[in-house]
Structure 1
Amino acid sequence: MKNLFIILFCCVLSVSCKNKTDQNVGTDQSKQTDSLAIKKEDINKINYVDIGLDVKTNKIVPTWQAYQTLADAVQSLKQADYSFFNSDIEVFTTAIKDLEETIPADIKTQSIEARVLAFKTKLLNLKDLKNLSFIDKKDILFATKEVFVAFSNLNLQINKKLEKDSQNIERPY
């Protein structure tokens, strides 16, 4: 009788302990998911120089549809909206491919092509990191910062190209 009582007590004890640990695991997992979620405040803490386009670019860039699509994606990133990177892979791939292939002739130089390639690389890196489940929040924020910096560098290079083209420098001979 004593042995039966001890066995019953051990069974009840093990079942009750298991229920408590299952509840704690669920609570810890929801806290971990919340801590991995990237919010607008996290994006606002990213330190980089945001360079926009000059007024001189109004003639060229609005007709460059691929640039406009990716500029909208970067703007949504600033709002902590990663939907462009989680959306259909074909839309994402087409936008990046079009960005490289449809650079307007007025600004198509090696330096701008290099900035477009760097921007493309950072976008692909961020997309890959967002698709992995075991990546830390800080890694995704770092990749997001790299996208912002690459986009700013592309804008800076476009501005420099158009500024240089607008200068009329006469050389004395």
Structure 2
Amino acid sequence: MKLRYILLFLSFIGLSSCNEDAKNETVVQEVAVETTSKKITAKMIESLEYRDFALSPEADRAIASWGEYHELGRQLDFLKRGDFSFFNGDKAVLKKFILEFKNKLPEAFETNPIESRIAVIETELLQLNENLTLDNIKNTTRLESIKGLFIAFSNLNDMMNKKLERETYNKILPE
């Protein structure tokens, strides 16, 4: 009779421990799915819709010596491919880049509208850095920050094009 109780007790322990293993496997699989879904891919970035203004040939010639602008353009191209290394790095390096970006602005573009677009780019860069470095930020918020930076850069291009276009029209004298 005691043998029956011992066997019953051991089988109960065996069954209860098997059930815990199944629960642990399920939890591990769910966590793995969550971490893979947190990664932002190049496809997700490509699906962002915004107006992208390119520089006119005149503006391109005017900023030929502005190396920081070209560097930001290259980093945005990397960002479109899903490379976040420049944007989620050290904040001090990013701030130094922003300071050089603002200080080396060509004199032809030192106007209030263009400087305000640069301030927006600065804000978007710092916000993107914060959103990429913090773990508890949702992908939708990160994608909105990426889109905001693309829009800010595009608006800077548009404003530089408009400034040079206005100067061209002002030089034309009526007959």
The reply to whether TM is greater than 0.5 is yes
Choose which of 123, 143, 146 in structure 2 pairs with 1:144: 146
* Counterparts of 1:14 and 1:133, CA distance in 2: 36
* Counterparts of 2:124 and 2:36, CA distance in 1: 26
Counterpart position of 1:163: 165
For 1:5-154, list aligned pairs within 5 A: 5-154=7-156
Aligned length: 172
* Counterparts of 1:16 and 1:25, CA distance in 2: 15
In structure 2, give the amino acid aligned to 1:11. Answer: I
Map Cα deviations across residues 61-102 of structure 1 (whole Å, 9 max, x no partner): 221122122111111111121111123433322111111222
Instruction: Give the superposed CA RMSD.
Output: 1.9
Specify the structure having the higher radius of gyration (Cα). Answer: 2
TM-score (norm 2): 0.89
Q: Describe the shift of the 1:146–1:8 C-alpha distance in structure 2 as closer, same or farther (beyond 3 A).
A: same
Specify the SS of the correspondent of 1:85: coil
* Counterparts of 1:39 and 1:113, CA distance in 2: 32
In structure 1, give the amino acid aligned to 2:160. Answer: I
Shift of 1:159: 0.8
Shift of 1:6: 4.4
* Counterparts of 1:58 and 1:47, CA distance in 2: 24
TM-score (norm 1): 0.90
Identity of aligned residues (%): 29
CA contact (8 A) 2:91 2:129 kept: no
CA contact (8 A) 1:69 1:95 kept: no
Specify the SS of the correspondent of 2:86: helix
CA contact (8 A) 2:50 2:151 kept: yes
Shift of 1:58: 2.6
* Counterparts of 2:124 and 2:32, CA distance in 1: 30
* Counterparts of 1:140 and 1:131, CA distance in 2: 10
CA contact (8 A) 1:70 1:95 kept: no
Shift of 1:143: 1.1
Gaps of 5+ in 2: none
